[in-house]
Amino acid sequence: MNRRSIALAAVAVLLIGSAAAVQAQESSWIHVRVNEAEGAKINVNLPMSLVEVAMEMAQDHIFDEDHGIDIGRHHDMELADLRRMWEELRLAGDAEYVSGNDDDEHIRIYRQGDTDFNIWIDNKPQG
Amino acid sequence: MIKLAALTMLPMLMVGGVVMNSSILLVDVHTDDVRIVVPVPLSLAQIVLAFAPDEAKYVRVPEIAGYLPYFDRIVEELRAAPDTLLVEVLDGGDHVKIFKRGDVLRVEADERRDKMVRVSVPLTAVAAMVDAYDTDTQTIRTSRLTGALKAAPSRELVDVIDGDEGVRIRMW
């Protein structure tokens, strides 16, 4: 399982989840798809309100006062930063927030209508 | 003589009545050469638990104390959500699915061909667990959990197969 994909998905979920803690929209859903070229396929569909509860539950474990957010070995992000970033994204409205390719990965994060947030991570086959 | 027979029969009839009107938890355990099936009438289990030693009456679970306030909200959110696939992970030969069907959260995990786990978690049972939890002693009262299972809509609660061995728990 590609750690980078997981970390990216986790960042995106945190981003949206922490936003949900600020502004929960009833019946909003988050959809996460991760396709590893030769590995795992992950499909997550969760009501935003449930993500909000999960974020609150997990807060003690993933948010460290001294080190910020603990995702893998990265400790350089604060919850407040995530919330600010989310607020900016939210104001942008219905749009594709992130779309990118690198050598082995295609990432898309977009909002569809008022209720669906989508995170897609596709790994291309090697070589 | 008839009076004596009637008096002897009375407790049996009472127990029989309890059993007849009770949901039955059927525990089916099999290995490659042995199979044991134990039917447990839930009403009878509740009565037995009332007279059981404290170790059986109360289960200590300090780990969930901190999460208790969230469980009610999770149950509430899941109840409000439509029936849907919530999580699916496919990794090599492993396949895990978590979905909501009615008032039941269902977990299905298949590890290649010979290992399989199916667990149905009735949301009523989670809510009952929260009610049955004593925050002072950090224990769950087991008789209240069995009471919650009686109201559970699911018929199949647990199904584990590992090669030639397996455990199946169903409600009748």
The string of pLDDT tens digits covering residues B21-64 is 568 888 999 998 899 999 988 888 888 888 888 888 888 989 88
C-alpha distances out from residue B14 to B8, B23, B52, B164, Å? 11, 16, 20, 40
Residue A5's pLDDT is 57
The pLDDT of residue B76 is above 80? yes
Please name the residue of chain A whose CA is at the shortest distance from the CA of residue B71.
A53
Dihedral sign from CA coordinates of B60, B66, B68, B71: negative
**Number of CB pairs, chain A paired with chain B, less than 8 A apart:** 45
Which residues constitute the domain of residue A9? 3-123
Which residues constitute the domain of residue B125? 2-171
Cross-chain CB nearest to A41 (options B66, B74, B90): B90
Using one digit for the tens of pLDDT, what is the confidence trace for A30-41? 899 998 877 789
Rounded CA separation B85/B71 (Å): 20
User: At A65, is the pLDDT very low, low, confident or very high (cuts 50, 70, 90)?
Assistant: low
Q: Is B63 exposed, middle or buried (0-12, 13-18, 19+ CB in 10 A)?
A: exposed
DSSP string for B16-67 = HHHHHTS-EEEEEEE-SS-EEEEEEEHHHHHHHHHHS-HHHHEEE-GGGGGG
The pLDDT of residue B88 is above 90? yes
A119 CA: distance to closest CA in chain B (Å) = 14
Which of B89, B108, B111 has the highest number of chain A CBs within 10 A, making it the mutation to test binding with A?
B89
pLDDT: which is higher, B74 or B152: B74
Residues of A in contact with B92 (CB under 8 A): 39-40
Residue A25's pLDDT is 47
pLDDT: which is higher, B83 or A66: B83
Q: What is the pTM of this model?
A: 0.71
**H or E, element range at A22:** helix A3-22
Total residue length of chain A: 127
Tell me the pLDDT of chain A averaged across its residues.
69
Tell me the pLDDT of chain B averaged across its residues.
83
Q: What was the ipTM of the complex prediction?
A: 0.70
Please name the residue of chain B whose CA is at the shortest distance from the CA of residue A40.
B91
Residue A24's pLDDT is 46
User: At B2, is the pLDDT very low, low, confident or very high (cuts 50, 70, 90)?
Assistant: low
Residue B147's pLDDT is 73
Using one digit for the tens of pLDDT, what is the confidence trace for B90-125? 988 899 999 999 989 999 999 877 899 999 988 888
The pLDDT of residue A69 is above 50? yes
Dihedral sign from CA coordinates of A5, A86, A30, B154: positive
Residue A82's pLDDT is 64
Our count of domains for chain A comes to 1
pLDDT: which is higher, A3 or B130: B130
Parallel/antiparallel/unpaired status of strands B58-60 and B139-141: antiparallel
Residue A13's pLDDT is 56
Our count of domains for chain B comes to 1
User: At B68, is the pLDDT very low, low, confident or very high (cuts 50, 70, 90)?
Assistant: confident
User: At B143, is the pLDDT very low, low, confident or very high (cuts 50, 70, 90)?
Assistant: confident
Rounded CA separation B66/B61 (Å): 11
* CB–CB contact B77 A40 (8 Å): no
Cross-chain CB nearest to A53 (options B74, B80, B92): B74
Q: Does A41 touch chain B (CB under 8 A)?
A: yes
Residue B108's pLDDT is 95
pLDDT: which is higher, B41 or A93: B41
Instruction: Give residues 44 to 73 of A whose Cβ lies within 8 Å of B.
Output: 44-47, 49-50, 53, 56-57, 60
